[in-house]
Amino acid sequence: MVSDEALKKLQEQIAAWPMERRFVVQQLIEDYRRNREDLRAYKDTGLTPESVEALKLSVMGKAIAEIKEFNGLPVNRLRELAGAAAQARRRSVGARLRQNGETARRRGGAASARRGRRGL
């Protein structure tokens, strides 16, 4: 990191520059100072990047767990609807499989049905 003394010397040197160049550099120096302070504050916490991510995920998980309704519907009702939809899909797939099996049996079995399609 750049020391405060070095930043002060740089500011003294740019004082003689034209205003538009001076403004840009002074803005960069201020941004650097803010970033340096943020970095120092982060280091003072003693947290690692992994622990920060874990903390963010736990906060999000807690917030999600506290949701009681979505678009005016209670979450429990949404779970019931999702379960019913999944059950309906399973029944539909099962019915199609049974229907396909019965069709193949009427043709003389699955092997016969495959031979008939191949022209054997």
pLDDT in tens, 47-59: 898 998 999 999 9
The residue-averaged pLDDT of 58-71 equals 85
pLDDT band at residue 38 under the 50/70/90 scheme: very high
Angle at CA of residue 103, ends 101 and 105, nearest 5°: 70
Q: What is the pTM of this model?
A: 0.40
CA distances from residue 61 to 55, 58, 65 in whole angstroms, order as listed: 10, 5, 6
pLDDT in tens, 79-110: 898 899 888 888 888 777 777 776 666 666 55
Q: Which amino acid is at 60?
A: M
Strands (E), the chain: 69-70, 73-74
pLDDT in tens, 24-34: 888 888 999 99
Kindly tell me the sign of the dihedral angle through the C-alpha atoms of 51, 53, 41, 39. positive
